[in-house]
Amino acid sequence: MGLFDNIRNQIGSQFIEIIEWLDDSHDTLVYRFPVYNQEIKMGAQLVVRENQAAIFINEGQVADIFKPGRYELSTQNLPILTTLRGWKYGFQSPFKAEVYFFNTRLFTDLKWGTSNPVMMRDAEFGMIRIRAFGTYALRIGNVKDFFNTVVGTQGLTTTDDILGQLRSTIISNLSDIIAESKIAALDLASSYRELSALAQKELQPSFASFGLELARFFIDNISLPEEVEAAIDQRTKLGVLGDRMGQYAQLQTADAIKVAAANPGGLAGAGVGLGAGVAMGQMMNQGFNAPPPPTPASAPPPPPAAPANVPRWSLAIDGKTYGPYTDDALKAMIQSGQVALSTQAWRPGAAGWAPVDSYAELGGNSSMPPPPPPPPSK
C-alpha cells in the first residue's frame, strides 16, 4: 500500500458514516450531534428513533427535517440542504452540517412554583400577594419553531435552561390568569381544577410560540399571606355563628359555671375562674350588640315582660350576680345540676329574689313567697 493510499484511508476514517442519538438520560429535550470539524459522508446512515426528530442546520438556518426512520443521506432526501449548498444531482463528496436531535416524547411531572409572592387584585381583599406551585407536562410539537426560538436564538440546549425559561413564562402569566378567572380569594382552594384548566388554555399560545405543546397543567397549592388567612378564618367563624352570638355568649358562661362547680369549693368557691369565665361571656355578648345584663337593685323596676328566648334571668351566687340567661339556657343548667333549685334568681317584673324552683316559667311553684336576698358569704 502506497503513501497516498494511507493518507486516503486516514481521511476517510474521519468521515461520519452513522448519525444517531442513543438517549440514556430520559430528561434531555435537545441534543447536538458532535460533528465539529468532521465531515458527513454522502451516503451515510441517519437513524431517527421513535419519539425523536432530527434536523440539519446550514449556517444557522433549519434545512431538512427527518421523522423517525432510517435514511441513507443523499441529494434526494436532503433537498433543502442541496439547494442551499448548490449541489449538483448525484453529489458524492463529504459535507459539513450541524445535526440536532429532538426528544418528542411527553415529559411529565415538571415542577413550577413562585420563588417570590405574586401580586393579584381580589374583589374583597384588594391587592394581595400569593404563592403557588404545581406540575405540568409538555412535548415538542414543532421542532423548527423550537430550534428557531429556543436553541438557535437563545442558545439553550440543556433541559434545565429550557425549563427555567418555561417557569418564568408560567409565573409571569399566573397573576393575570387568576385575576381573569374572577375567583375570590376565599374560593381559590376549592377551584384548583377550574384554575388549572383555565391556566392550560391561557398558557398554550405562549408554549406554542416556543414550538412546544402544553399537554397538562396542574395547580397543587395556592397560599395566601398570613393576615389574609387570619381574616378568612375570622369570617368563617362569623359565618358559622351567624345571629346566634347571644347564645354563644350564654354557652360560654354556662361552661364557666360548670367548670367552677367541679372545683372543691363548688359554685360558692368559684372565685377568679368563674368570674373570668362569666366576664368573658358577658363581654362577647356585649361586643355583638346583645342586651346588657340588668343590674339588680334593692327594688328592681318592673320592665316589660321579655320573650322566653331573650336573656332575662339573673342568678345570685355568693353575693354576686351572674347572667342574664334565657329560659332554655337556665332550664338546661338546672336539669344538668349546674344550678341548684335553691339558687336565688330574679327576672324583670319579679318582686324580688326567689329560688329558681319558685318560678312557674322554670317548672317550679310560683305561689311560694320569695325570701329576702341571701347575705354575702364571709
pLDDT of the chain, 378 residues: tens digit per residue: 443 344 344 444 467 889 999 988 777 888 988 876 668 888 889 999 999 999 998 888 889 999 999 999 888 888 888 887 877 766 777 888 889 999 999 999 899 998 888 887 777 778 888 889 999 999 999 999 999 988 887 777 677 778 888 888 898 888 788 878 888 887 888 899 999 999 999 999 999 999 999 999 999 999 887 777 776 676 666 566 555 555 555 555 555 555 455 444 444 444 444 444 445 455 555 555 555 555 555 555 555 555 556 788 888 888 788 888 888 888 888 888 888 888 999 888 888 889 988 888 887 654 445 556 677 765
Question: What is Dmax (Cα atoms) for the chain?
Answer: 141
Please list, in sequence order, all residues whose beta carbon lies within 8 angstroms of the beta carbon of residue 227, skipping any fewer than 6 positions away.
none
Q: What angle do CA 42, 44, 45 make, to 5 degrees?
A: 150
pLDDT value at position 308? 54
Return the percent helix, strand and coil in the chain, to nearest 5.
Answer: 35, 25, 40
pLDDT value at position 270? 45
> Against a cut of 0.85, is the pTM above it?
no
Cell for 10? 486516514
pLDDT in tens, 167-215: 888 988 887 888 788 888 878 888 999 999 999 999 999 999 999 999 9
pLDDT value at position 58? 85
Q: What angle do CA 262, 326, 248 make, to 5 degrees?
A: 70
Please list, in sequence order, all residues whose beta carbon lies within 8 angstroms of the beta carbon of residue 148, skipping any fewer than 6 positions away.
62, 211
Distance CA 184, CA 194 (A): 13
pLDDT value at position 82? 83
First to last CA, the chain: 130
DSSP string, 199-250: HHHHHHHHHHTTTEEEEEEEEEEEE--HHHHHHHHHHHHHHHHTT-HHHHHH
What is the CB neighbour count within 10 angstroms for residue 363? Answer: 12
Among 204, 212, 217, 200, CA closest to 102:
212
Place of cell 355563628: 241
Distance CA 323, CA 345 (A): 10
Q: What H or E segment, with its residue span, contains residue 161?
A: helix 159-181
* CB 278, CB 284: distance < 8 Å: no
**Where do the domains of the chain lie?**
3-103, 107-229, 243-362
pLDDT value at position 183? 85
Angle between helices 245-261 and 327-335 (to 10 degrees): 20
Q: What angle do CA 225, 228, 230 make, to 5 degrees?
A: 110
Superfamily of domain 107-229: Band 7 domain (3.30.479.30)
Distance CA 177, CA 134 (A): 15
